[in-house]
Structure 1
Amino acid sequence: MTAILLAFIGFCALIVLHELGHFTAAKLVGMRVEKFSLFFGRPLAKVQKGETEYAIGWMPLGGYVRITGMNPTEEIPEEVAPRAYYRQPVWKRIVVIAAGPFVNIVIAFLIIWALLLANGQATDQPVVSKQDLGQPAAQYLQPNDRIVSVDGVRGDPAAIARQVSTHRCAGRQVDGCAAATPATVVVERDGRLQTFEITPRYDGTRGIERARLGFSYENATRNVGPVDASGVAVTGMWDVTTRTVETFGKLFQAREREQLSGVVGTSETLRQSFEFSTTLALYVLAIISLSLAIINLFPFLPLDGGHIFWALVEKIRGGRPVPFSVMEKAGAVGFVLVIMLFFIGLSNDIGRIGDGTLGDIGR
């Protein structure tokens, strides 16, 4: 229950901060904000402060900021007309619209940067993990030990596992039986080599069914400073961005469509990550925040990127406004895209619920 609550709070925080970006930018450039709402639909609660109504809707699928004059054809009282959205210069409109995704990008960066400073950067060197350290390994090995060899055999984790599996129980191979002979395990610990004689045990778990020492691997980490952490965070975020764009560019390929998740799958993944570890939960939250920014910047109305696109078109046209009818027709394409993405993600989530794989993490 706690994990569900934390996931919900995290999701809400991303929405509020995104809309707060639009809200703050609009106020700073002098636009009139009529409403700030967390979630959609009829308000469950609302309060009026000055010219702005603050509300919480009943449909937890997002949020919005309503700025006076977002529709250029709406009738606006003369006293507020100068502060209407479409009465503002192009640069102000772009600043206000881009502020929401910008906040999500900053949130993602700060979370990843802080996690790197706290936990270090993962390397490609496998070491003994503190997770799943069981018997008999727990009597000899320590987290972050690097396995150098087993019985003189060196190699990657797969090669080490194959060598350990050559040790067999004296009689029938049954779950938990001890091997007839011990394995000679050489590890590197704090820069020095140590040798242990460890007797493997047979693991009859379905999918394993071989002798094991009783540990798993994780990648070693290295400490990074604030500057290095910034570079690593930006590089990682760029990789996520390019993969996300590539995925949406291949929506007509069945395999790529299967990778999409909707709000159900995203929430479930976040919930499970809170149950697994706070670090993983924060990382997932950062990726969700970055993904919200990327999707919102797609150049289709009603997404933020659509508003930015048409503002730039107006600038290229020498300040001549684009006919609202043209934007409406183009917006219909964007609306269809958004609905298509929503239903593809939702159908994938339903399928994962059916086969029990929704939100699988670390398996």
Structure 2
Amino acid sequence: MLAYIFGVVLFALGICVSVALHEAGHMVTAKAFGMKVRRYFIGFGPKIFSFRRGETEYGLKWIPLGGFCDIAGMTALDEVTPDEAPRAMWRFKTWKRTVVLAAGSVTHFILGFIVLYLMAVSMGLPNALIGKAQVDTVSPCVQNATTNEQVLNPDCKPGDPAPAKDAGLRPGDEIVSVNGVSTPTYPDVIAKVQALTGPTRLEVRRDGQLVPLTVDVAQVDRPVADASNPQAPPQVVKLGTIGVGFPTMLHFSPVAAFGGAGAFTADMFAQTWDRLLEFPERIPAVVHSIFGGERDPNTPVSVVGASRIGGEAVEAGLWSLFLILLASLNFFVGVFNLLPLLPLDGGHIAVTWYERVRDWLRGLRGKAAGGPVDYTKLSAVTMVLVFVGGAVTLLTVTADIVNPIRLQ
């Protein structure tokens, strides 16, 4: 129980640090361009303490659920004093305002990458997302099996087939093609081999060189779970196999880790975008779970739910899952914050570039610049989006309390 509580607190602390650095990204870039930053606070609600350094007040508040960076003149509607007016944010060039507005999300992306890089050089990165088709183990034989235990620990007898061993496959070999068809990931290798039998051409990368091999694929009994009904007993079917295992974790040198973490980051960005597109259609499932329905593990979670999962991961000793979850949350927040919707940073970026394009078109017609956008005309749309966002947050928090997603 103590490990669980420690994990929840640690994950929540990680979120707080991420938010604090998000706002620091806005502050640092704004100061670098000469904009006036009035205040930088972590948290909301009553003030615990603050201090002033130069023209900026720094402080901490009681509710650690966010933070803010108060930049003078973020919009033309913000009141500024006469001495602040020349340094009001809205007076700066479009690209500078864009950099400041995007800096928060970029900070999340950098944090996510740093987490993955540190994993790559220490505990390794899960191969489930990378899918590298690098051979980890070569089985002494392959046999019919009705359980996964029998698959992993065959009781080899004289005469049992050993396709990979006989073909000369070695741990460390990377399978790049099967029968001339490229297999960039190990699921590609498995899918291709399962449909084959008999002599099959493989091409592997060994010590930087491409080596052709011929392996005699064996058709054996294998247990296969029903994807549509995970609770049902596995069905035993005939599948092709060569008797190799692929690594669950990939380890990298400090230099190679940049490439490994980069590839992993790209995969997580793609998955984040997919989750965002699926977000609206999964909300009904969240409502269903609140009223007693089974919680779909693919439904959105709040900070509360993510922290609970982080706590369970620590309790189970799954630190890699804890860190992957923390990195993925940073990527999600970073991407979500760039959506062109007010009051998100992406909405402010969209308005900034609308002004720039509008003034460019007016200039082509010989007209003067149109001036800053009147945000009061967007207040109705902004309030609707705030209401929808608040409702979704309330739903996910409620679901994460009454019917949380669990690891087991």
Q: By the TM > 0.5 criterion, same fold?
A: yes
Contact kept, 8 Å, 1:273 with 1:284, in 2: the verdict is no
1:260 is paired with a residue of what secondary structure?
coil
* Superposed counterparts of 1:180-195, under 5 Å: 184-185=155-156, 191=170
2:276 alignment counterpart? 245
Q: Does 1:350 align with 2:355?
A: no
What is the CA–CA distance in structure 2 between the aligned matches of 1:246 and 1:83, rounded to whole Å? 39
1:340 alignment counterpart? 391
Q: Does 1:284 align with 2:334?
A: no
Q: Does 1:220 align with 2:260?
A: no
What is the CA–CA distance in structure 2 between the aligned matches of 1:17 and 1:36, rounded to whole Å? 11
2:305 alignment counterpart? 265
Amino acid at match of 1:3: G
Out of 296-305 and 109-118, give the one that drifted further: 109-118
Out of 298-307 and 276-285, give the one that drifted further: 276-285
* Superposed counterparts of 1:2-41, under 5 Å: 2-41=6-45
Contact kept, 8 Å, 1:101 with 1:296, in 2: the verdict is yes
1:54 alignment counterpart? 58
Deviation at 1:218, TM superposition (A): 8.7
Q: Does 1:122 align with 2:127?
A: yes
1:100 alignment counterpart? 104
| Residue number among 120, 137, 148 corresponding to 1:161 in the alignment | 148
What is the CA–CA distance in structure 1 between the aligned matches of 2:141 and 2:287, rounded to whole Å? 40
2:57 is paired with a residue of what secondary structure?
strand
Out of 333-342 and 34-43, give the one that drifted further: 333-342
Structure 1, gaps ≥5 residues long:
127-143, 165-181, 193-206, 211-216, 353-357
Contact kept, 8 Å, 2:117 with 2:258, in 1: the verdict is no
1:245 is paired with a residue of what secondary structure?
helix
What is the CA–CA distance in structure 2 between the aligned matches of 1:73 and 1:209, rounded to whole Å? 64
**Structure 1 residue ranges (4+ consecutive) displaced by more than 3 angstroms after TM superposition:** 123-126, 144-150, 159-164, 185-192, 207-210, 217-224, 251-258
2:186 alignment counterpart? none
2:373 is paired with a residue of what secondary structure?
coil
Contact kept, 8 Å, 1:117 with 1:229, in 2: the verdict is no
**TM-score relative to the length of structure 1:** 0.71
What is the CA–CA distance in structure 2 between the aligned matches of 1:3 and 1:148, rounded to whole Å? 41
Amino acid at match of 1:6: L
What is the CA–CA distance in structure 2 between the aligned matches of 1:148 and 1:246, rounded to whole Å? 45
Contact kept, 8 Å, 1:30 with 1:83, in 2: the verdict is yes
What is the CA–CA distance in structure 2 between the aligned matches of 1:282 and 1:82, rounded to whole Å? 44
* Percent pairwise identity: 26
* Superposed counterparts of 1:304-315, under 5 Å: 304-315=345-356
Do the aligned partners of residues 256 and 218 (structure 1) sit closer, same or farther apart at CA in structure 2, a change above 3 Å counting? farther
1:24-48 C-alpha deviation (Å, 9 max, x unpaired): 0111111111111111112122222
1:184 is paired with a residue of what secondary structure?
coil
Contact kept, 8 Å, 1:101 with 1:293, in 2: the verdict is yes
Do the aligned partners of residues 45 and 248 (structure 1) sit closer, same or farther apart at CA in structure 2, a change above 3 Å counting? same
What is the CA–CA distance in structure 1 between the aligned matches of 2:391 and 2:94, rounded to whole Å? 30
For these two proteins, the number of residue pairs brought into alignment is 299
Q: Does 1:302 align with 2:353?
A: no
2:293 alignment counterpart? none
What is the CA–CA distance in structure 2 between the aligned matches of 1:218 and 1:54, rounded to whole Å? 51
What is the CA–CA distance in structure 2 between the aligned matches of 1:242 and 1:49, rounded to whole Å? 40
Deviation at 1:64, TM superposition (A): 1.1
2:248 is paired with a residue of what secondary structure?
strand
* Superposed counterparts of 1:70-81, under 5 Å: 70-81=74-85
| Residue number among 335, 358, 374 corresponding to 1:317 in the alignment | 358
Structure 2, gaps ≥5 residues long:
172-230, 235-244, 289-295, 360-368
Contact kept, 8 Å, 1:70 with 1:84, in 2: the verdict is yes
What is the CA–CA distance in structure 1 between the aligned matches of 2:9 and 2:58, rounded to whole Å? 23
2:271 is paired with a residue of what secondary structure?
helix
**RMSD between superposed Cα atoms in Å:** 3.5
2:240 alignment counterpart? none
Deviation at 1:15, TM superposition (A): 1.0
| Residue number among 216, 222, 235 corresponding to 2:266 in the alignment | 235
Contact kept, 8 Å, 2:120 with 2:250, in 1: the verdict is no
2:382 alignment counterpart? 331
1:69 alignment counterpart? 73
Do the aligned partners of residues 323 and 208 (structure 1) sit closer, same or farther apart at CA in structure 2, a change above 3 Å counting? closer
Amino acid at match of 2:248: A
Deviation at 1:60, TM superposition (A): 2.3
**TM-score relative to the length of structure 2:** 0.64
Out of 301-310 and 268-277, give the one that drifted further: 268-277
What is the CA–CA distance in structure 2 between the aligned matches of 1:105 and 1:24, rounded to whole Å? 16
1:85 alignment counterpart? 89
Deviation at 1:102, TM superposition (A): 0.5
1:360 is paired with a residue of what secondary structure?
coil
